[in-house]
Amino acid sequence: MAKEYGHYDDAAREYVITDPCTPWPWINYLGTEDFFGLISNTAGGYSFCKDARFRRITRYRYNGVPMDAGGRYFYIKDGDTVWNPGWKPCKTPLDFYECRHGMNYTSIEGRKDGITAKVLFFVPLKTWAEVQKLTLTNTTDVVKKLKLFSFQEWCLWNASTDMENFQRNFSTGEVEIDGSVIYHKTEYKERRNHYAYYSVNVPVQGFDTDRESFLGLYNGFDAPQVVLEGKPRGSVAHGWSPIASHYLEIELKPGESRDLIFILGYVENAQDDKWESKGVINKRMARETMSRLDTPVKVDAEFRKLNEYWDNLLSIFNVESGDERMDRTVNIWNQYQCMITFCFSRSASFFESGIGRGMGFRDSNQDLIGFVHQIPERARERIIDIASTQFADGGCYHQYQPLTKRGNDGIGGGFNDDPMWLIFGVCGYLRETGDFSILDEPVPFDNVPGSEKSLFEHLTISFDHVINNLGPHGLPLIGRADWNDCLNLNCFSNDPDESFQTTENKTEGSKAESLMIAGLFVFSGRDYVELCRQLGKNAEADRAQRHIDDMIAAVEKYGWDGNWFLRAYDYYGRKVGSHENEEGQIFIESNGWCAMAGIGLKEGLCDKALDSVKERLDSEHGIVLNNPAFTRYYIEYGEISSYPAGYKENAGIFCHNNPWVMIGETVRGNGKAAMEYWRKICPAYIEDQTLHKVEPYVYSQMLAGKDAFRPGEGKNSWLTGTAAWNWYTNTQFILGIKPTYNGLEIDPCISPDMKEYKITRKFRGATYQIEIKNPNGSMRGIKSLIVEGKEITGNLIPLFAEGSKVHVTAILQ
Ligand code: GLC
Ligand code: GLC
């Protein structure tokens, strides 16, 4: 039996970690809308409001030694023993340790020498603050006198300059102390209108706000001198590194329990309302928040609201499949991860620093597909934000900053897959909601006021951007890159000091074409055609269909390599992803997308391509991106060949794109293969947690591929398109519940051994209780569909009135 570090508690919707020494910090996310925190299983991590870079509240050191140092620490001094509920940072052996990661909350419990310390961390709904409810219990039969020290280290707001501009930073730090509240107000007197605070709901016996006084210059978080001495210094930070630490003396009778409520909060004040008196910050809003949360009863009520919020979100889609691993993935953790990726895109995780990328154009459109059923209003707003960064010719800024919502000049545009993702995202939104009004919204180009055109027109120019940028074979020009950011066919970089992602490209005169974009164009182009028909724009639909037909013909003529689809043509017009190549003969993206689009299905091309994927790309842990892996640098391919073989885009198992092949398998009706591929990358099925390394409850972007040193090792967990793609594939193509403009289409494609399952799906205000029966062990094809006791022809459940409860039975052939 492989070593286990924890297990699922499905009834509580929690993952329970029982050993603090996980193979990597296993984290969770706090917060639902503006105020967020990342928290590890040993209480590490940090907090921010709205933007992980510009409004960072607490400091975090990346890639530190030891890993994951700094965070929300409570030090308990019991006689001469100092320990922490989450084991770190003192690492004093505990008698019991447990961390429960749940839906936007984490609770960590430690026990030592008869004292139990349990901390519940969460951000109440609509609140700019994190609650830390600490419950101390004396389980012995003697009176216990404890000394308790809290600890948070402030970040000087801009997480990027915080790490580098020390000649300034060491002089700017300012705090205010008011009773049990420590306020962090660095730069508030000049251009900032925000401050942060850390409070506790009882009087304190002391405090510290200066890091050096608290820790001692030569000590780490594991041995703060103040804690070792058992005496706070009452330090007031002037520059250097401000922190917040409360000191409490606590006496607990035998059996007694005490709750303490700590609040880590953030406030923005209006310009003319910043001060209480000269130099004294206006604390009104902080006090309001603290008084809303100053008793255990109030905190527990807020916690219940958060749980109800999740009850509600997770009630929209629910499967009972008979396989608990599938159920927990689909019903709980995958939906949760989709919400997190929607909120954070690729910004803040233990692999993304929160100071790098903004919101990706393609990433955010894909994330939307996993989230739109949960809170469609937020998806709507996101679509408008994304579309507003498009250029008038249909090209797009590749990223935008969440705080300003402006396109990011650093990276610019020219990724030629981007426009099609807008069609993909918008059609997903429309099918879920039926909210066609969004198509009439005036949306600017590059955020320039006055440039507005309707969202529908944005879709048209997105579609046209592909056909206006075709290469010599009538296939889409790739531009800087398509979905694979690392296949840089126009980059030709030989300077290690430039980034593949931002350097100038030589697209002028390039012949580099992408078969991945071709597949995406056919797949999402059909969505566009269907939408036009839905709107009665038949001439436009016909026009678009002709371009799609031309694209299919071009792929069949120039994109077929004999046994699989080519990946691309390079700058010079030479084949990429062909048996003629020395390395990188076959790629997942083009084969996935062309199969999804059913190109050459009748002629057997899809079958051949999928069989080749199975033969050449599949492995024990999932489907690798390309094969053979690149073993040297190819200047004409760029970053892809920069990675060691088996990692990332160079033959790693990119979990994001495995679903494309799964959908491809459903297109040819092979539910067995689709589900087998899925189980390989789905964390709930992964047995060896030590090898997998990262969190066992969320998908990771990548597992090391078959050519890597340690195949199957996970990296880049949490923030990845993998979440949305697996959700979309599982629910719509495997379990087969597809939202359409006119109802729910039932079209499962499953493993023959799945004999029956039930799904509850809330859709446009009605609740559908769907029972799928597969008595003959088939993989696909509805024989009969009974809706509210009546058999109907076809496989579309029509729309029912809001509030209806609809019973459906579907029987497979
Ligand atoms: C990363 C990026 C995504 C890209 C993928 C493949 O996950 O966020 O935009 O498509 O890598 O390169
Ligand atoms: C990298 C990664 C890729 C990511 C890109 C954009 O090179 O390999 O996954 O999408 O950077 O940041």
Of 595, 597, 470, 454, nearest to 524 by C-alpha is: 597
Distance CA 342, CA 500 (A): 26
Distance CA 34, CA 124 (A): 11
Residue 781: pLDDT over 90: yes
- Between the CA of 360 and the centroid of ligand 2 the distance, in Å, is 11
Is the CB of 485 within 6 Å of ligand 1? yes
Distance CA 23, CA 18 (A): 13
**DSSP one-letter string for 695-750:** -TTS-EEEE--TTSSSTT-EEEESSSTHHHHHHHIIIIIIS-EEEETTEEEE--B-
pLDDT at 402: 80
Which ligand is located closest to the Cα atom of residue 520?
1
Which residue CA neighbors atom 3 of ligand 2 most closely?
Answer: 485
pTM of the model: 0.97
Q: Which atom of ligand 1 is nearest to the CA of 363?
A: 9
Identify the three-state secondary structure at position 363.
helix
pLDDT at 1: 61
Stretch 319-327: mean pLDDT: 98
Q: List beta partners, residue 265.
A: 129, 197
The pLDDT mean for the chain works out to: 97
For residue 228, give Cα distances in angstroms to 82, 232, 305, 485.
8, 10, 39, 50
For residue 769, give Cα distances in angstroms to 275, 379, 726, 788.
57, 25, 22, 10
Cα first-last separation, the chain: 40
Is the CB of 329 within 6 Å of ligand 1? no
DSSP single-letter state for residue 625: S
Is the CB of 352 within 6 Å of ligand 1? no
Assess contact for 419 and 465: CB atoms under 8 A: yes
pLDDT at 475: 98
Is the CB of 56 within 6 Å of ligand 1? no
The predicted-structure confidence for 698-726, as pLDDT tens digits, reads as follows 999 999 999 999 999 999 999 999 999 99
Handedness of CA 331, 336, 342, 346 (dihedral sign): negative
- Between the CA of 649 and the centroid of ligand 1 the distance, in Å, is 9
∠ CA(508), CA(594), CA(476), 5° rounding? 15
pLDDT at 411: 85
Identify the three-state secondary structure at position 459.
helix
Assess contact for 804 and 766: CB atoms under 8 A: yes
- Between the CA of 517 and the centroid of ligand 1 the distance, in Å, is 14
Q: Which two tokens stand for residue 748?
A: 């499962």
Is the CB of 589 within 6 Å of ligand 1? no
Ligand 2 pocket list (CB less than 6 A):
357, 485-486, 501, 639, 648-649
pLDDT at 405: 87
Q: Which two tokens stand for residue 261?
A: 């409520």
Across 473-498, b (16+ Cβ under 10 Å) vs e yields bbbbbbbbbbbbbbbbbbbbbeeeee
Residue 357: pLDDT over 80: no
Distance CA 544, CA 58 (A): 51
Q: Which atom of ligand 1 is nearest to the CA of 357?
A: 8
- pLDDT confidence band for 251 (50 / 70 / 90): very high
Which ligand is located closest to the Cα atom of residue 503?
2
Which residue CA neighbors atom 7 of ligand 2 most closely?
Answer: 486
The predicted-structure confidence for 359-389, as pLDDT tens digits, reads as follows 899 999 999 999 999 999 999 999 999 999 9
Give me the catalytic one of 485, 527, 570, 618: 485
Stretch 37-53: mean pLDDT: 96
- pLDDT confidence band for 169 (50 / 70 / 90): very high
Q: Which atom of ligand 1 is nearest to the CA of 485?
A: 12
Residue 513: pLDDT over 80: yes
Is the CB of 349 within 6 Å of ligand 1? no
Distance CA 98, CA 81 (A): 20
Which ligand is located closest to the Cα atom of residue 719?
1
Q: Assess whether 495 carries a catalytic annotation.
A: no
Q: Which atom of ligand 1 is nearest to the CA of 701?
A: 7
Distance CA 427, CA 372 (A): 11
pLDDT at 403: 80
Which ligand is located closest to the Cα atom of residue 344?
1
Q: How many CB atoms lie within 10 A of CB 452?
A: 15
∠ CA(768), CA(682), CA(658), 5° rounding? 95
Is the CB of 184 within 6 Å of ligand 1? no
- Between the CA of 390 and the centroid of ligand 1 the distance, in Å, is 19
Torsion of CA 217, 218, 224, 229, to 10 degrees: -90
- Between the CA of 485 and the centroid of ligand 2 the distance, in Å, is 6
The predicted-structure confidence for 388-432, as pLDDT tens digits, reads as follows 999 999 999 999 988 888 888 888 899 999 999 999 999 999 999
- Between the CA of 210 and the centroid of ligand 1 the distance, in Å, is 41
Assess contact for 619 and 707: CB atoms under 8 A: no
**DSSP one-letter string for 42-82:** TSBEEEEES-TTTTEEE---TT-SSSS--BSEEEEEETTEE
∠ CA(479), CA(480), CA(481), 5° rounding? 90
∠ CA(803), CA(806), CA(810), 5° rounding? 155
Of 418, 420, 422, 456, nearest to 439 by C-alpha is: 456
The predicted-structure confidence for 485-498, as pLDDT tens digits, reads as follows 999 999 999 999 99
Stretch 639-652: mean pLDDT: 98
Q: Which atom of ligand 2 is nearest to the CA of 485?
A: 10
| Displacement of CA 622 from its chain's centroid (Å) | 20
Q: Which atom of ligand 1 is nearest to the CA of 481?
A: 12
Pocket test for ligand 2, best of 491, 649, 650 (most atoms within 8 A of CB): 649
The predicted-structure confidence for 628-638, as pLDDT tens digits, reads as follows 999 999 999 99
Stretch 775-798: mean pLDDT: 97
Stretch 453-469: mean pLDDT: 98
- Between the CA of 483 and the centroid of ligand 1 the distance, in Å, is 6
Assess contact for 808 and 787: CB atoms under 8 A: yes
Distance CA 604, CA 620 (A): 27
- Between the CA of 266 and the centroid of ligand 1 the distance, in Å, is 32
Is the CB of 648 within 6 Å of ligand 1? no
Which residue CA neighbors atom 10 of ligand 1 most closely?
Answer: 483
Is the CB of 87 within 6 Å of ligand 1? no
Non-local (6+) Cβ contacts of 276 within 8 A are 282, 283
Peptide bond into 628 cis (omega under 30): yes
Assess contact for 188 and 195: CB atoms under 8 A: yes
| Tokens 């969440």 found at | 402
| Percentage of the residues of the chain whose pLDDT score is greater than 90 | 95
Residue type, 111: R
